[in-house]
Amino acid sequence: MKNKPDLADGAEFEIVFVGRSNVGKSSIIRKLTGSKVRVGKRPGVTLKPTHVRLGDLLVTDMPGFGFMSGIKERKQDIVKDKIVHYIEDNAERIDLAVLVVDGSSFLDIVARWEERNEIPVDIELFKFLNEVGISVLLAINKMDKIDEAMADHALDDIVEKLGLPSPWNMWQDVVVPVSAKQNDLKKLSSCIRQRMHVARRDDLFRYIH
């Protein structure tokens, strides 16, 4: 089908990043790995995953779904289907999925979908990932935009929407508030390393900062 060398060839440990456009997936990957993936891509334009390859570690930035009003609903479904197929096709190789949400807008976006009696794509994908048995982390990004006094409350509401009973900090190994902007990603990298450790791949620690 394609002649380009495939960055995925020979990869043994894959982490996929999934999330709405503009939530900060590329920023997080860039800061965690020190490798450039495109930041501020035009939302909805890319339908193919972008990869970073480090040794036999593959870090995959899935196409983002949804972005304000510019993207048609049908396109969101196409993106969602692409993500689901990629994950199903590569389930054997995928060790970890990181669902990234924008903590400062997630609840408003969910409310808008709920008004239309629809399930937000993020929530569907979170369920899907858990159902296929892939280990999932929920990275709640842009915490710098949330008033500190409101943070616990907002985080409780976010995890409840995703089907996890509050309080959020009961899910320390799954739910990780972060801020790529403020370089506050330590907790996320330690959760990722923890999964690598469980897979007896401590040798990969050096790729995740």
Does 51 contact ligand GDP by CB under 6 A?
A: no
In the chain, beta strands by DSSP E: 13-19, 50-54, 57-61, 94-102, 135-141, 175-177
Question: What is the CB neighbour count within 10 angstroms for residue 91?
Answer: 12
Does 142 contact ligand GDP by CB under 6 A?
A: yes
Q: Which of 118, 145, 190 is nearest to 22 (CA)?
A: 145
Does 53 contact ligand GDP by CB under 6 A?
A: no
Does 176 contact ligand GDP by CB under 6 A?
A: no
Contact residue for ligand GDP among 85, 145, 186, 197 (CB under 6 A): 145
Side-by-side strand order, sheet with 13-19: 50-54, 57-61, 13-19, 94-102, 135-141, 175-177
Contact residue for ligand GDP among 11, 15, 18, 19 (CB under 6 A): 19
Does 50 contact ligand GDP by CB under 6 A?
A: no
Name the segment binding ligand GDP (CB under 6 A); options: 22-30, 80-88, 112-120, 122-130.
Answer: 22-30
Which pair of tokens denotes residue 5? Answer: 């060398």
Does 22 contact ligand GDP by CB under 6 A?
A: yes
Q: Which of 26, 108, 18, 15 is nearest to 64 (CA)?
A: 18
**In whole angstroms, how close is the CB of 203 to ligand GDP at the nearest point?**
28
Does 76 contact ligand GDP by CB under 6 A?
A: no
